[in-house]
Structure formats: C-alpha cells, structure tokens
Copies of this chain bind each other. A is one copy, B any other.
Amino acid sequence: MKLDERHLIQLAAVVKTGGVTEGAALLGLVQPAVSRTLSMLERRVGEPLFVKGRRPLQPTPLGLSLAEHGLAMLAASRKASDLVESFKVGKSGVVRVGGTPFFMDALIARLCAEFQTSHPDVRIDQSYGYFADLRAALRADQIDLAICPIDILDEGSGLEFQQILPGRNVVACRVTHPLLLKRRPQPSHLLDYPWIAPPPGSPLLADLRALLLSLGATEIKIRYTGGSLMSVINYLKSADALTVMPHSVVFAQRKEKTITALPVTIPHPERALAILKRADAPRAPAVDQFAEFVRLGFQDLRHLIKRHEESVIWGL
C-alpha cells in the first residue's frame, strides 16, 4: 500500500484544523482539491478515514493514526523549508575555515564565538595549515576559507583573497625579559637567550632561521619546540626565551601583560594576512558572511594594531 506523502499531509492538516476548508487554507490550497484528495486516499486505503454524516468532521481511528504520520511529514517539510531559508541568508550551514595555528588560536577562535552570537546555527569547522596546504585544501574543496599570511607577490591562481592585516612577524618574549631594559639592544644579544622554534613548515620558522643566520649564528640554539600557542606562551612566561610570532598575536595578548615584542625588525618579505576563497566555486552564504565578519572585525582593529606596532617595535 503505497501512499502519496502529500495526501497524508493534507489529511493531517484537515484533522488538525477540524475541517476540509480550514485544512486547505492551512496548506495554501483550496477546499475542493483537499476534498478530492481525501476521497482518493479513502478509496485507495479501502477503509473510511472519517465517520460519514458527521459535522464537525470526525476522523476514524485509522484516519487519526495516519494523520499523525502526516503531521510528522508536515513538520519535517516545514523544517526543511526553514532550513533553506536560513541557509540562503547565511544563518545556517557550515563554515570550514583553515588557517595558521597561532593566528587562529589567538584571534580567529574569538571571532568565531562572536560570529555565532548572531549566527547560532552556523557550525564552524576549524583546521590548521600553512599556505601551501591551505591552498590545496581550498582547491580540493576541503575548506571554504583560509586565513593565513601570504607574500604580497603571490597572486593566487584561481583564488580570491582579501587582505585583513599587515603580516609582520616580531620577536616575542615575556614582559620581564632583560633585553627590554636595554636602551638600545644590540641584535647580537638575541643570540644570548634560548629560542623556541615555531611549528615546522611555518613562515615563522623560516623567519627565525633567516634572522638568526643574519646575526651570524652558525647554528640555531633551539630549546623548545612543538607546542601550540598556549604552550609557547606558558613557556615564555617562565623563561627568558625568545621566539618569532606574528605581531597580531602579540597584540592579541596585550591585555594579559605576559608577553610582548622586542624592538627588533625581522627582515622578511612583505606579507599580508589575508582571507582566501576559491574564486570560481559557489560558496554557502554563511561562508561569505563569516568572511565579511572577520574582515570587518580586523578593520576595526587595524589602527589599534598599527599603533601598538609603532609603540612596541619602533618605540614611538
């Protein structure tokens, strides 16, 4: 006995409202259509669904039971419609965002939480990676957005990107670090302290290498490595170690007053922190809304970060 789902929904509407006319109105239909549907349904089922010659309409037990199932379908249909609506305006869906570990931990996680106060039904899947991985993941449609530093020269092939911050890296240390006491620290002093190596594969590590080698270090003295941002900060808090970090990460920690940056410039290619998307692929509206939210969030922070950089690094 195969039953048309639409018929059951109409039955449910009629039983729920207690009348063919009202039931039809509930579904945006007209009475004769529903009336005919009920006749058909009754004929196909072969059993009466309503007791005849009674007004108001009274369903038989079978009619009532079938109507319950119809109601389940009606509810599911309504939910599906609502889902589509909210998806199309970016109020539901999934945002898969990948990015460089320190930056995600320090800045993006917080933004995710803020985003979801206005978009509670959007799920965010975060993952970590560096530019090459992220680009590949974007191309393979494993993530919707990447947030990472890119060399200004790189023109993404088929990738669209929006700059959100300058991508400057700095030398980070705890606020009580002895080097901060010197009026004019010599770059060579940097070699007197232990170093934390940023994650392998990161631009941070490359910059660290370049920096130390430029100072004449024949060999890099690494005392700690492998930890994510929280580990690195906790390590820094308890030792006079140094490491390389995006300036924005140091900025994000300013309120804690535990770490800061040395007034030292690391020579590295000009970079920008950017949001990368695939240019061609269609994106879920929630993805665009999230990207825009992030962009605006950093727009607000931009001058603060700029000021912080000037005061800390350049000592202005």
Contact = CB atoms under 8 A, between A and B. Distances in A.
Nearest to A53: B141
Interface string A24-47: 000010000000000000000111
Nearest to A9: B5
Interface of A is mostly: helix
Given A47-B282, A69-B76, A62 B81 contact: no
In the complex this chain forms, how many copies of it are found?
2
A62 B88 CA distance: 10
A3 B284 contact: no
A6 B9 CA distance: 11
A133 to B, nearest CB: 20
Interface in A262-300: 282, 284
Contacts of A8: 76-77, 80
Contacts of A61: 93-94, 123, 284
A79 interface: yes
B62 A83 contact: yes
A2 B85 CA distance: 10
A69 B83 contact: yes
Interface in A58-96: 60-62, 65-66, 69-70, 72-73, 76-77, 79-81, 83-85, 87-88, 92-94
Given A1-B85, A88-B47, A76 B73 contact: yes
A47 B123 CA distance: 17
Contacts of A141: 51
Given A76-B76, A84-B3, A284 B69 contact: no
A97 to B, nearest CB: 14
Contacts of A62: 83-84, 87, 93, 284
Nearest to A82: B1
Most buried by B among A4, A46, A62: A62
26 contacts: A1-B84, A5-B9, A5-B77, A6-B6, A8-B76, A8-B77, A8-B80, A45-B88, A47-B87, A47-B282, A47-B284, A48-B282, A61-B93, A61-B94, A62-B83, A62-B87, A62-B93, A62-B284, A65-B83, A66-B80, A66-B84, A69-B77, A70-B76, A72-B72, A73-B73, A73-B77
5 closest A-B pairs by beta carbon, nearest first, are A69-B80, A61-B94, A72-B76, A69-B76, A1-B84
